[in-house]
C-alpha cells in the first residue's frame, strides 16, 4: 500500500478525500453564515417597508464615499486572495505570501475606514438603541433634524449589521496572519493548500455580504 502524504490525517484514505471533506464542511459553515445575515436582512426589510421615508432620510447621514471606498477595498482583496490560491497551485510560495499580505492590508484598510466612520457618528450622538441622540452639525448636515421616530431603529440595524460584518473581517485578518506564517514555513504546496482555499471561500462570502450591505444602507 502506498504511503499517504504527511498532511493527510489518519482517518482519511487520501488527500483528495480530506480536501473534499474539508470543503464540504466549509460550505456548511458558510450556509449558517448566510442564515445569520438573512435574519438581519429580513429585519431591515420589515422596517424599511414600514417606514421607507425615515430610512431614506437616515441614510443621508452615511457617507456613501466611505462605503464605496470600502467596497473597492474588499473587491481588491477578493482578487488578491483568489490569486494566492492560483499561485499556491503552482508552488510559487513567495507570491502566495505577498498576495496574502496584500489581502490582509486590504482588510486592515477596511477596518480603518470603518473606525473613522463609526467615530464620526459617535461624536454626534448617533448610537444604536436607547443611546441614539443626534446633535451638532457636520458637512452641512444638522444631525438634530434626523432625530425622528424610527431613525434609531435604522441606526441600530446599521450598527448591528456592519458591526457583525466587521467582526467577520477581523476573523479573516487573523486567518490571513496564520496563513502567512504557515506559507513562510513551507507548510503548503501544490499538493496541499486546503487552508488557503477554504479561507478564500470564507473571505469571498464576507465580500459578497458587504456588496449587499453597501447599497441597502448607503444608497437607497
CA 47, 53, 54, 57 dihedral sign is positive
**pLDDT given for residue 1 in this prediction:** 33
pLDDT bracket for residue 11 (50, 70, 90): low
pLDDT at 16: 73
Provide the pLDDT confidence category of residue 184 given band limits of 50, 70 and 90: very high
- Please report the pLDDT score of residue 139 as a whole number: 78
Please write down the HEC assignment for all residues of the chain: CCCCCCCCCCCCCCHHHHHHHHHHHHHHHHHHHHHHHHHHHHHHHHHHHHCHHHHHHHHHHCCHHHHHHHHHHHHHHHHHHHHHHHHHCCCCHHHHHHHHHHHHHHHHHHHHHHHHHHHHHHHCCCCCHHHCCCCCEECCEEHHHHCCCCHHHHHHHHHHHHHHHHHHHHHHHHHHHHHHHHHHCCCCECCECHHHHHHHHHHHHHHHHHHHHHHHHHHC
Q: Is the pLDDT of residue 145 over 80?
A: yes
Classify strands 141-142 and 137-138 as parallel, antiparallel or unpaired.
Answer: antiparallel
pTM greater than 0.95: no
Return the pLDDT at 77.
97
What integer pLDDT is reported at residue 84 of this predicted model? 96
Q: What pLDDT score was predicted for residue 4?
A: 45
Residue 41 scores a pLDDT above 60: yes
Average pLDDT over residues 63-88: 96
pLDDT tens readout for residues 52-72: 999 999 999 999 999 999 999
Rounded to whole angstroms, how far apart are CA atoms 86 and 51?
Answer: 47
Rg (CA), the chain: 21
Check residue 208 and give its pLDDT: 96
117 burial (CB, 10 Å; 0-12 / 13-18 / 19+) is middle
Model confidence at 206, in pLDDT bands (50, 70, 90)? Answer: very high
- Rounded mean pLDDT, 68-88: 96
pLDDT above 70 covers what percent of the chain?
Answer: 93
Residue 190 has what pLDDT? Answer: 87
Q: What is the mean pLDDT of residues 179-189?
A: 93
For the chain, give the mean pLDDT: 90
Q: How far apart are CA 62 and CA 89, in angstroms?
A: 41
Structure confidence at residue 117 (pLDDT): 95
Model pLDDT, residue 2: 39
Mean pLDDT to the nearest integer, 29-57? 93
Joined together, the cell numbers standing for residue 100 give 496574502
Burial of 167 (0-12, 13-18, 19+ CB in 10 A): exposed
Amino acid at each position: 500500500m502506498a504511503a499517504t502524504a504527511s498532511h493527510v490525517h489518519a482517518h482519511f484514505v487520501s488527500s483528495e478525500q480530506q480536501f473534499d471533506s474539508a470543503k464540504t464542511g466549509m460550505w456548511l459553515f458558510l450556509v449558517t453564515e448566510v442564515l445569520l445575515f438573512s435574519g438581519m436582512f429580513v429585519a431591515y426589510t420589515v422596517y424599511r417597508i414600514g417606514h421607507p421615508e425615515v430610512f431614506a432620510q437616515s441614510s443621508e447621514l452615511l457617507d456613501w464615499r466611505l462605503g464605496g471606498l470600502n467596497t473597492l477595498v474588499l473587491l481588491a482583496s477578493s482578487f488578491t486572495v483568489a490569486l494566492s490560491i492560483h499561485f499556491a497551485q503552482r508552488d510559487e510560495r513567495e507570491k502566495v505570501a505577498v498576495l496574502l499580505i496584500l489581502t490582509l492590508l486590504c482588510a486592515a484598510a477596511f477596518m480603518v475606514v470603518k473606525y473613522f466612520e463609526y467615530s464620526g457618528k459617535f461624536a454626534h450622538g448617533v448610537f444604536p438603541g436607547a443611546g441614539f441622540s443626534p446633535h451638532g452639525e457636520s458637512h452641512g448636515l444638522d444631525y438634530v433634524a434626523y432625530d425622528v421616530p424610527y431613525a434609531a431603529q435604522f441606526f441600530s440595524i446599521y450598527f448591528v449589521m456592519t458591526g457583525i460584518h466587521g467582526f467577520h473581517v477581523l476573523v479573516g485578518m487573523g486567518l490571513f496572519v496564520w496563513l502567512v506564517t504557515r506559507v513562510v514555513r513551507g507548510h503548503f504546496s501544490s499538493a496541499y493548500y486546503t487552508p488557503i482555499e477554504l479561507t478564500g471561500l470564507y473571505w469571498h462570502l464576507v465580500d459578497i455580504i458587504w456588496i449587499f450591505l453597501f447599497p441597502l444602507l448607503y444608497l437607497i
